[in-house]
Amino acid sequence: MTSNRPLLIPSPRTPNTHDLPTLPVFPDSAKPSSAMDSENPQPTLNSSSSRRSISSAQSKPSMRYGSRGADSEGAASQKEMNDEDVRIIHVNDLAQTNERFEFSGNSIRTTKYSVITFLPRNLFEQFHRVAYLYFLVIAVLNQLPQLAVFGRGVSILPLAFVLLVTAVKDAYEDYRRHRSDRIENNRLASVFVNDQFQLKKWKDVQVGEIIKIQANEGIPCDMVLLSTSDPTGVAYVQTINLDGESNLKTRYAKQETLSKLPEKDRITGMIKCEKPNRNIYGFQAFMEVDGKRLSLGPSNIVLRGCELKNTHWALGVAVYAGRETKVMLNSSGAPSKRSRLETRMNYEIIMLSLFLVVLCSVVSLCAAVWLRRENDNLEDILFYRKKDYSEDEVKNYKYYGWVLEIVFTFLMSIIVFQVMIPISLYISMELVRVGQAYFMIRDGQMYDEASNARFQCRALNINEDLGQIKYVFSDKTGTLTENKMEFQCASIWGVDYNGGRGSLEKDQLVHNVQIDGIVLRPKMNVKADPDLLRLLRSEKDTNEGKHVHEFFLALAACNTIVPLVTDSSDPNVRLIDYQGESPDEQALVYAAAAYGFMLIERTSGHITIDIQGERQRFSVLGLHEFDSDRKRMSVILGCPDKTVKVFVKGADTTMFSVTDRRLNLNIIRATEAHIHAYSSLGLRTLVVGMRELTASEFEQWHSSFEAASTALYGRAALLRKVAGNIENNLIILGASGIEDKLQLGVPEAIDSLRTAGVQVWVLTGDKQETAISIGYSSKLLTRRMTQILINSSSKESCRRSLEDAILMSKKLTTVSGDEHSTRGSPGHGITSLALIIDGTSLVYILDSELEEKLFELANRCSVVLCCRVAPLQKAGIVALVKNRTADMTLAIGDGANDVSMIQMADVGVGISGQEGRQAVMASDFAMGQFRFLVPLLLVHGHWNYQRMGYMILYNFYRNAVFVLILFWYVLFTCFTLTTAITEWSSMLYSIIYTALPTIVVGVLDKDLSRVTLLSYPQLYGAGHRQECYNTKLFWVTMVDTLWQSVAVFFIPLFAYWGSTIDTSSIGDLWTLSVVILVNIHLAMDIIRWSWITHAAIWGSIIATWICVIVIDAIPSLVGYWAIFDVMKTGPFWLCLLAIIIAALTPRFFVKFLCQYYSPCDVQIAREAEKFGNLRVSRPVQIEMNPIMELPRR
């Protein structure tokens, strides 16, 4: 879990008055992992890594994943205030607040452009693509009189069209942001101005002003609470717009400002706080009011983007406004990622560029030879004529000498052959990706009914990468499991109350409380153990009964759960909904309520618990929240019998280290055994302890706490020390077992992915036993696997363990007779290895020379399971693989602790789960369930990769065949670079004549059906083997292109050889023939036809005829009426037919031979799909091609 809260929650100002409600002192702290999550990093892991905020981690130039060298105090979330990090705000005094420098206004702007900056900035961003610069240079060269091949306006048209389409898209997106900003800035807030509250637009709110927020209203800026409608100063806020978490959070006003109302008392004071930063879970400040200095922490501030709930009103003073608010500082999106296919495409573009240079060089060299040979005849040679005799004074026609003529010929060749680099390819790829994203979003098989969440495509530029994933890195809690915790069993005072687990005899217990004629009952029911129920009801006064009483009291009190009363269908019955950031805490509180310990009220100073029908009020004297160092939380209660007790719960690794082992050693051993048993069943465990405090111990704690909470420097470290001092010499009460069930379809999904050749690694913060148990239930681990466990506590120990494991893996693979048998699909006779490593070992391995050994070992294993890992260690594991192999990586998770891993991987997938939307907001794709990964990769990923790979090669072919036709023509016209094809047809070729069909095919074509792809996951290996786009395919395509260009050019040339046909007429023939050819070439490769495909293919051919006819019907253009003249001749129609047959026949036969004698998996499956019966063929063992290893980087 990743929901987190501040380190400390309030202690009273008056410790000796236990019955008085008290106001908290909130120090600053980072937002650590959630309180009750047993999925926590190992105690010895990098504390700075586990606490560092994502924003601060991303801002550092280098990141350490495993080292413990960084001091936790240096992390951004834990940084202490100093004079350079301070801003001073005078409450309700704007002039003095802005005296030193003016603070930011509250107007926000999420747009990229303004009216003035749109054109230059948008063009600057678009020209980051090198191909655009290439075409800009071409267009500029064509403006020079010496190089003007095409009309000046026509030469700019393709580039202008592409730039315009992209600019219109960007402008529309930015307009929507402008509109959203305008609505947000013009919302109204109640601000104290001129001794009264007045409505003021949000954009006009200033730092230092006092603002009044009503229930269900949004917070206009970051503000420190002064008072609330609750007499104890509590306010409830919902942060769903900030971090996606729907549960209510509690915020508190200081006791000293509670009674001050602006209308009656003039509120003055000074707030000294840290400068604006991105850490939404940390805040550190002081407030001076009436001569007192009060410490402020994260629980005293409400942030812009939150909403006030269950509180009538709240008063606060603005401390951060506008772009300096935490939500705006965190508004940047996920880092930009680039498709692997597009990156590889650059190599082919370079090859085409070199080929273009070769063509231009050939033309210029041939022109040089021709000019030298015909030097004596240049003055009056037909069609060239160097001299102009039209005037009395004889001059040269645009002749600049032999050397310059060669240079100009080279540059003019580049202009004529410019379409060799397909400018339309980029915009075609963008449009295809949009279409692919539309169908992924609309896929009903990736719709989660439980959360009403559709698939989200948040990054449009990496769709095709989904078809090449080799490694999947998955979180466990909330990703493989539901993250809906159910209390299953407990060990109390050495007794295992687990007798009814898994049986139908276990009661669904509903505990009711009646208050003023209204029945209160928990919203969720919990299965109860009959023995435990009997003990609570009939043996209260026994020693065993007292321990059970203390255990469930700890579960009900040691938390930050807020009980909310909601209506039910029965007007006499109200439901108590326990709101909290941690599903574990909610499960424990519901369990306590089921056994008769019902939490019914919480304020900042006390809690009320109904214990077996008797309402008891406990003063909350202090509550030390969970943090990633201590891995436990504690609450100090003033009990009705005037005793003071501290209740503590946390991970077993830290709880047993603070127990008093002189007492009940047998009970500790029994509890440890029960915890191990629970973990082996896949349950999440927590240990509960307590001790009674003497008056002197409490006074010492209180004075230490007060000193730490008001310290100017090192406050966070001091507060952790205070917490550690009180949490010792505990009596172990017992342990709880909570079940986090697997999501539906997880075992089948993992099995399908592994069959597809995808390696699944699980990275979790859970205990090793729990992770292994989940591994078995999810089919990640099998009983036939040989497990390699690495649990080391030193670097040398890690080195020895890795070397021994590598040696053992080599022996096992040698015995199995296949060096690579540990990779890929497990089968009979193959030794499969599973590596299980804990976070402590990773501390010494990551960022050291041992990384290479870990990668070598992991590369020999079918499964890797990392336990007790910190968030940045997850990113470190992904980086370990990503930096050492060319394989594609995918990370999937659901919580904030998965964000760094998601952003590190080539593809990041967020789960819309119980832990908020932090992972979703940082991801490239988002969905509701882990099982949707199968259709996403095996179906859509395969389709997207196949379509995009083919579309890129087709675009190269389509443009290259056109350029080669122009090249052949140049060789027959004395290298003068005149063109028979009109300049308009040259420019429209890639835009209108041939663009639409390739886009339609890129969106709609399917080489195989969904059923086939899901039935045979091995077909996903086509992406691993790069079957749809590789260097071999590129060169084969270019050879085919060369032949087709020869057929298109020379058949009409020989047919009309010796005739009087003009160049415009034969140019129209070449134009029509090449358009028909490339479209029929595309039609030969289409597998799934639809009416849209037919319309695009044949419609483009018809559109070309219409355009050619229209162009030739305009008298002012070259080639007037040429098409009408040539169509009257018989050879015209024969040439069209002969070109198609001659150009495509070799391709047809080569394709037939390859598919008949050496078919790939996809072609075999396609034949089985078309001619066979899949239901019959499914049981048949079809041998698939092995997935070849790609070279390491």
Three-state SS at 831: coil
Active-site annotation holder among 443, 448, 475, 924: 475
Q: CA 921 to CA 243: how far, in whole Å?
A: 9
Long-range contacts of 768-771 (CB under 8 A, 24+ apart): 768/679, 768/836, 768/838, 768/867, 768/868, 769/676, 769/679, 769/680, 770/38, 770/679, 770/682, 770/683, 770/684, 770/685, 771/476, 771/836, 771/865, 771/867
Cβ pair 148, 141 in contact under 8 A:
no
**Local structure of residue 276 (DSSP, 8 states):** P
The Cα-based distances of 860 to 818, 879, 980 in angstroms read 11, 18, 61
Other Cβ atoms within 10 Å of 660 Cβ, number: 15
The phi and psi torsions of 253 (rounded to 5 degrees) equal -95, 155
Q: Which of helix, strand or coil describes residue 506?
A: coil
Which own/partner contact pairs does 566-570 have at CB distance under 8 Å and 24+ positions apart? 566/523
| Beta bridge partner(s), residue 649 | 633, 688
Instruction: Let me know if 475 is a catalytic residue.
Output: yes
- R_g over Cα of the chain: 37
Element (H, E) at 840: helix 839-845
In the chain, the amino acid numbered 73 is E
- Burial (CB count <10 Å: 0-12, 13-18, 19+), residue 263: exposed
1070, 966 in Cβ contact below 8 A? no
Short-list 124, 106, 349, CA closest to 209: 106
Residue (of 873, 938, 931, 945) closest to 904 by Cα position: 873
| Number of residues assigned to the chain | 1193
Distances (CA, A) of 472 to 914, 981, 1017: 21, 52, 15
What single string gives the DSSP state of each residue in 71-125? -GGGSGGGPPP-GGGEEEEETT-HHHHTSSSPPP-S-----S--TTTHHHHHHHH
The residues near 21 (Cβ < 8 Å, ≥ 6 apart) are 231, 232, 603, 604, 605, 606
Three-class SS of residue 1039?
helix
Task: Tokens for 1032, please give them.
Answer: 């071999």
Per DSSP, what are the bridge partners of residue 610? Answer: 598, 615
> Which residues are known catalytic residues?
475
